[in-house]
Amino acid sequence: MENISLKTTDSLKHFNSTPEIHKNYSDAEKQKLAKASKEFESMLAQMMLKSITSSTEGLFGSENFGGDVLDTVFEGELASYMTESKSLGISEMIYRKLTGENINDILKLKGEKLKGQIPTDIKDVPSVQPTNNTMKRLEKYEDIILEASEKYGIHKNVIKSIILTESAANERAVSKAKAKGLMQLMDPTAKEMGVSNSMNPRENIMGGTKYFAKMLRQYNGNMNLALAAYNAGPGNVEKYNGIPPFDETKKYINRVLGYLNNLES
């Protein structure tokens, strides 16, 4: 089998022209995509090493015993080290093309479930009792909520508490700021999460849960910061290095946790 010679003058040429395929992948699916992207980058790096060392007849030269086998083993190990310690950027580009997200966000999870969804001190928050009519409306979306919970690793009662706070389980709710639906998605957020119709209950719940999961990952499982980011935006959380000093945001967090306390009791 002949060695493959690679031209590396424009190594990103074929990736720059690939179409973007943004879908609502689950975290498990994203982890598989990230792993495959990393493996492809490692394979490409190994091919590049083989091409570079072809003029010296391999890493160990032509006179050593078992050189072909050793070359293959060491090229594979060196390629893996190169792509793991300092990425070539290829896996990141492939992953972003497929998901629209940063590969490092999912690699941080490394297959772990999101943690800290139910704060240990939830009982210290005053309970908030939803009305009977609100709970009846919420019951209609039980199956969708369970699906979103399983897909994105967010406890079902956290999703319910956000819905209760955002819209009182009114799927046609629209705020003055044009936030829409059960989880009150703004159009840019909906687009980022792959939601085409925010007034569709399933799309709204799946998109809202996906976004909250993203905020929870971003703030290392800190429920209060994730809720603050969901309400006031992550930019304000970063600006104030914590929960923004907005009365609306503080009340929002307490209300979500109050509903959560009630649902957990």
Q: Which of 41, 75, 166, 171 is catalytic?
A: 166
Residue 172 CB coordination number (10 Å): 10
- The pLDDT of residue 111 is 37
Mean of pLDDT values over 88-108: 75
Q: Where are the domains of the chain?
A: 13-109, 122-264
Q: Is 92 a catalytic residue?
A: no
Q: What average pLDDT does the structure give for the chain?
A: 79
Distance CA 155, CA 146 (A): 9
- Cβ pair 107, 37 in contact under 8 A: no
Mean of pLDDT values over 75-102: 66
Instruction: Report pLDDT digits (tens) over 202-237.
Output: 999 999 999 999 999 888 888 999 999 999 999 999
- The pLDDT of residue 116 is 41
Residue 127 CB coordination number (10 Å): 15
Distance CA 124, CA 56 (A): 70
DSSP state of 121: T
The token pair that represents 176 in the structure block: 């003055």
Instruction: Report pLDDT digits (tens) over 25-76.
Output: 766 677 778 778 777 777 777 777 677 666 655 555 555 554 554 455 555 5
The most confident of the ranges 88-92, 148-152, 254-258 is 254-258
Q: Which residues pair with 247 in a beta bridge?
A: none
Question: Is this structure's pTM higher than 0.75?
Answer: no
CATH 3.40.50.300: does it fit domain 122-264? no
